[in-house]
Amino acid sequence: MQSSQRARMAIFLTVFVDLLGFGIVIPILPLYAQAIADHPSAWMAGVNNFLGLGGTGTTPGAFWAGVGFLSYSVMQFIASPILGRISDKVGRKPVLWVSLVGSAFGYLMLALTSRFEWMLAARILDGITGGNISVAQAAMADGSKPEERSKVLGMIGAAFGLGFVLGPALAGVLSGSHFGHELLATRGWHLPFFVAGGLSLLASLMVLLWLPETLTPEVRARSRAHESRGHALVKAMKIPGMAQLLMVSLLAMAGFAMMEGTFALLVHQRFNFHQREVGFLFAGIGVLMVIYQGGLVRVVAKRIPERIALITGLILMGLTLPLMPKAAWMWPFVLLFIPLAWGSGMGNTAGSALASQLTPPEDQGALFGVMNAMSGVGRIVGPAVGTFTFARWGGQSTYTVAGLTLGMALVLALTLKPKEAV
């Protein structure tokens, strides 16, 4: 196996194992935070009263679940460009390893606590070290031709999708197991988060043992010599077409994150589903992501220009989200996962490929750090808006706002000139 192929396979496996841990957290965190918020401390009760969340018909737990998502995203927004730029200078491997170890410690803190303050600290730590996806994307782009970017970046999407297949399903199995119940009842410990931490440690070992450094010494030297006096975001904004791509990334993620942060609450409210059922539903979305990112992306990349793929993905998501609170169980609701998952995969992969094609090799890490920072803003805005509107006005308002947010991203994507999207 060639060194570039070995590197890509190692990156795929480590990202998959890491995202498996991330997939465990996603369906559980909202209900976990809501359970903690049902017994608020004095300062949390004061916030509830200030925001008008103490009355009949309100769901304060949805707001505090949003705070859990928000804290992670704020720190990821701050850290991603920094980690990406550091990886341009010192290499992808050491930065990827540090971020995985940090995630493992964050999951361990999450597993051991039933207090909201410690949950918040765990999410902050995980957010600070959560730049591993941007570094992995840059590692995938290293050495690949511009016309291959959609295909190689699709491998990251496939790893992400596999994490969503097995992670949520594993979360459902672990949280519903006898041992998981007994551990929580007797010690207040959360088995799924222990497993997530162990998986991140395993991924860090994979990086040490399997991953060769993908960034050549020459490119690292050029990056160190070409030290920017400004923030990576400022540099990126100077590239024609990049401002639109970054805003599309922000808005698309905000709309998707409104769903991501409230999905467990929606199906619990509508269908009385709990952690186990939520985990399996997220696994279904993950299967569809894998089908697209692992296979269909190659067909799309060959036949459809990235600009058209980006626009199509935004349309699919924007039309699907407002329908989810209205769809009846079972097949009408489940079938909506197809345009949601494939639209997300199509938009994310095409947007990342377009941005990578506009950026020189020595700035790829910084670019993906900036893109993930903008997505991080979306993960800040999305759960904050989504969980608050859910708490005050219910699920339909949240998913309507999510659809409108995707509509704004679509308008921006339409302003991209074809010559800037080559």
The number of C-alpha atoms within 13 Å of 43 and in the hemisphere containing its C-beta is 3
Residue 38, pLDDT > 70, answer yes
CA 192 to chain CA centroid, nearest Å: 19
d(CA 305, CA 272): 43
Please indicate, yes or no, if residue 222 is contained in any of the structural domains: no
Please indicate, yes or no, if residue 409 is contained in any of the structural domains: yes
Determine the pLDDT at residue 146. 63
- 412: closest CA among 286, 300, 288, 255? 255
Please indicate, yes or no, if residue 226 is contained in any of the structural domains: no
Instruction: Convert 148-200 into a string of H (helix), E (strand) and C (coil).
Output: HHHHHHHHHHHHHHHHHHHHHHHHHHHHHCHHHHHHHHHHCCCHHHHHHHHHH
The total number of structural domains in the chain stands at 1
Domain that holds residue 90: 3-217+231-420
Q: How confident is the model at residue 421 (pLDDT cuts 50, 70, 90)?
A: very low
Determine the pLDDT at residue 316. 95
> What DSSP designation does 228 have?
-
C-beta of residue 141 within 8 angstroms of C-beta of residue 356: yes
C-beta of residue 53 within 8 angstroms of C-beta of residue 391: yes
Q: Which residues contact 127 (CB under 8 A, 6 or more apart)?
A: 71, 72, 73, 74, 75, 76, 79
Amino acid code (one letter) for 403: G
Determine the pLDDT at residue 338. 94
SS3 content of the chain, % helix, strand, coil (to 5): 85, 0, 15
Please indicate, yes or no, if residue 142 is contained in any of the structural domains: yes
Q: What are phi and psi of 360, to 5 degrees?
A: -70, 160
Residue 143, pLDDT > 80, answer no
- The string of DSSP letters for 325-387 reads TTPPTTHHHHHTHHHHHHHHHHHHHHHHHHHHHTS-GGGHHHHHHHHHHHHHHHHHHHHHHHH
Q: What are phi and psi of 193, to 5 degrees?
A: -75, -30
* Tens-place pLDDT, residues 216-258: 676 666 665 555 544 566 666 677 778 888 889 899 999 998 9
User: Phi-psi bin for 241: left (phi > 0), alpha (psi -120 to 50), beta?
Assistant: left
Residue 54, pLDDT > 80, answer no
* Tens-place pLDDT, residues 307-330: 888 999 999 999 999 999 999 888
C-beta of residue 318 within 8 angstroms of C-beta of residue 410: yes
Residue 96, pLDDT > 80, answer yes
Residue 417, pLDDT > 50, answer yes
Please indicate, yes or no, if residue 225 is contained in any of the structural domains: no
CA 212 to chain CA centroid, nearest Å: 25
Please indicate, yes or no, if residue 167 is contained in any of the structural domains: yes
CATH number at residue 253: 1.20.1250.20
CA 273 to chain CA centroid, nearest Å: 23
User: Phi-psi bin for 91: left (phi > 0), alpha (psi -120 to 50), beta?
Assistant: left
Determine the pLDDT at residue 288. 85
Please indicate, yes or no, if residue 281 is contained in any of the structural domains: yes
- 379: closest CA among 134, 74, 83, 63? 74
Residue 419, pLDDT > 60, answer no
Please indicate, yes or no, if residue 180 is contained in any of the structural domains: yes
Determine the pLDDT at residue 229. 46
d(CA 309, CA 240): 19
d(CA 13, CA 295): 17
Q: Decide which of 320 and 213 is more confident.
A: 320
Determine the pLDDT at residue 322. 95
Q: What is the largest CA-CA distance in the chain?
A: 63
Residue 9, pLDDT > 70, answer yes
Q: Which residues contact 83 (CB under 8 A, 6 or more apart)?
A: 95, 99, 131, 132, 134, 135, 369
- 401: closest CA among 337, 316, 322? 322
- 381: closest CA among 263, 233, 251? 251
**């369906």: which residue's tokens?**
27
C-beta of residue 287 within 8 angstroms of C-beta of residue 222: no
Residue 82, pLDDT > 60, answer yes
What is the average pLDDT value for the chain, to the nearest integer? 80
- 255: closest CA among 415, 391, 370, 375? 375
C-beta of residue 131 within 8 angstroms of C-beta of residue 369: yes
